[in-house]
Structure 1
């Protein structure tokens, strides 16, 4: 069995390296454990589901006994590839091994033509067929070892030439960098404008696109549903939002990709502000919070599909984070509806964009999202009116346009708002 298992291990290593882009790594242990012939560690930081694979011939008893060593090794490799996401796949050919889940490790038993768990087949469809028996085991092993040695040399040369390019590409977080640049630019512009025209930061924020229900209703300035997300009047508000966005966006991009993560952020900002429009009165709102909650919602979906909620410590941390965000959303001056709208948007888009969700779930989520969008659109027309009037703010805004020599716009702002307030 050991001779067959050593051949299967090499066949499997070749499959992962040649077909799935994995690289073999050497592990130095601080634990006193028996050295085994079959003990391979493979990594692929581009694989979102199983970035680390361990191949052995251990029984379940040996697996559980070596769990501290395995966990320590996983920690070392995660630090090496700078990845805290994804599960670990531990494969054994031993007759006394079974399939089970422990912490963040999925243990499976593998032999030729054996039934393999569906989640594993989704990532590696050919895994049960790439191992097979041959008449001359030693000759086959030498042939595979020679082939792997050549491929390792070739991959090392290629890795050296592409490392700088790859590192830059991975560090370029589009869904953080683009919103950050826009938000910082608008923040600076608001400060300069307020100082130059001797007006309040709130008035300056309205000029630069803050959410203001009066102007959306009266002047049909629907662009404010989006632009409000990039408007901040407080440096600390901007700083905390960008810190939260960075932490979440960099994880979301690894699963959903740059463009989809940016789309989730954008739509969550819009829908969050639409919910404010429907449920709140004539208020002024700014900030990326709705979009950040959208990415958080999408991450919840990702964690669910990856099985992270099966890990008690991880599940506890997520629920603690949700609880804290609910408390923050209920504080004065914070829009619960904006956060809730963004969060639900992120969940729906997460199910639509999830790479490992079923086709029926994606279709049903898309249909449900369209229905929600239609309902929100209808409610926006139904609840567009308001009773809170801020004549002083409207007058100051019109005066600012007058100072900018935009007299026509200034007159329009003051006359149209007064007409609406009088019910004309």
Structure 2
């Protein structure tokens, strides 16, 4: 490796090759791109959209497997095909399903986060992860990976808050967060305009219509969570802006970092709750 190669790096914001000693990225204007705070293994990985999306899917799969392992053979959560390989209500409750009962009766406000990583059956998680794999890269391209994760997390919470205010007793699934990504792209397409913006708006609008019809046909679908997630995504997209209007900055990174830490803390609480409850019932 030459000395020039050793003194070079990829800008953590725009990912172009620059000198490590640059006070400002000459392409995107990021300050001190070579500092450890902006250029360490965690930020390089988390700032990669594919890595973030894969991490979200992996955590969803892990939580789904855990919910199956600790199930006690009670009636499952899903309906029809959605109930195939379905964890029971008990396992989902102790891991962090949300709604009026978990929040009001058990004071589990943190379930607004954990419910986004729990699923009621193999087809439930399969459909949601396929939708996530389709929409998340588009959001990451237009908003950036950090804003994408913030929209996913905060939008999911907003969706489940609306569901809670509507009186839904129990609810789970990544669909509220995925609907937030859809809402953000609705805002992007409408705000950007032009041929490309209109095409995005029409395509994503078609998904919204499909979700609405799906919710009418299939029993057990949380339409309040879906609608709340879409509205939340529109509002967050408006508040954070997209890349053509505003490049990702330090605030967006800190917000995403907070969302990551809050999600980890909530999932750990759910796992500790499950571990304590399962052990207590086996004594």
TM over 0.5: yes
| 1:351, distance to aligned residue in structure 2 (A) | 1.2
Distance in 2 of aligned mates of 1:171 and 1:259: 9
- Deviation of 1:212 (Å): 4.1
Contact 1:248/1:295 (CA < 8 Å) preserved in 2?
yes
Which of the two has greater strand per residue? 1
Q: Aligned partners of 2:181 and 2:48: how far apart in 1?
A: 18
- 1:178 equivalent to 2:55? Answer yes
Per-residue CA shift, 1:26-76, capped at 9, x if unaligned?
xxxxxxxxxxxxxxxxxxxx79xxxxxxxxxxxxxxxxxxxxxxxxxxxxx
Partner of 2:270: none
What does residue 3 of structure 2 align with?
Answer: none
Instruction: Report the equivalent of 1:403.
Output: 281
Cα deviation for residue 317 of structure 1 reads 3.5
- Counting only pairs closer than 5 Å after superposition, residues 381-396 of structure 1 correspond to structure 2 as none
Preserved contact between residue 305 and residue 356 of structure 1 (Cα < 8 Å)? no
Runs of 4 or more above 3 Å deviation: 168-172, 197-200, 308-319, 355-358, 398-402
> In the alignment, what sits opposite 1:240?
127
- Would the aligned equivalents of 1:190 and 1:233 in 2 still touch at CA under 8 Å? no
Which of 209, 228, 243 is residue 115 of structure 2 equivalent to?
228
Q: 1:403 to 1:174 in 2, by over 3 A?
A: same
Radius of gyration: which is bigger? 1
Partner of 1:338: 225
Residue 162 of structure 1: aligned partner: none
The 5 Å alignment of 1:1-400 reads 172-194=49-71, 197-200=72-75, 201-281=88-168, 283-308=169-194, 316-331=202-217, 332-354=219-241, 355-357=243-245
What TM-score do the two structures reach when normalised by structure 1?
0.42
Q: 1:349 Cα deviation (Å)?
A: 1.0
Tell me if the contact between 1:176 and 1:249 (Cα under 8 Å) persists in the aligned partners.
yes
Please state how far the C-alpha of 1:357 moved relative to its aligned partner. 4.4
Aligned partners of 1:266 and 1:291 also within 8 Å:
yes
C-alpha spacing 1:317/1:202, structure 2 compared with 1 (3 Å): same
Shift of 1:310: 6.9
Contact 1:303 1:309 survives alignment (8 Å): no
Contact residue 294 and residue 343 of structure 1 kept, 8 A: yes
Distance 1:311 1:261 in 2: 18
For structure 1, list consecutive stretches of 5 or more residues without a partner in the other structure.
Answer: 1-45, 48-167, 359-397, 406-424
Give me the whole-angstrom Cα distance separating, in 2, the residues matched to 1:342 and 1:308.
26
Query: CA RMSD of the aligned region, Å?
Result: 3.1
Classify 1:300/1:315 alpha carbon distance in 2 versus 1 (closer, same or farther; 3 Å). closer
8 Å Cα contact 1:175-1:249 kept in structure 2: no
TM-score w.r.t. structure 2 length? Answer: 0.62
Measure the CA separation in 1 of the matches of 2:237 and 2:172. 24
| Contact 2:181-2:233 within 8 A present in 1 as well | yes
Question: Any conservation in 2 of the 1:175–1:261 contact (CA below 8 Å)?
Answer: no
How far apart, CA to CA, are the structure 2 residues paired with 1:202 and 1:309? 47
Deviation at 1:178, TM superposition (A): 2.2
How many residues get paired?
200
Distance 1:231 1:308, change over 3 A: farther
Contact kept in structure 1, 2:184 and 2:237, CA below 8 Å? yes
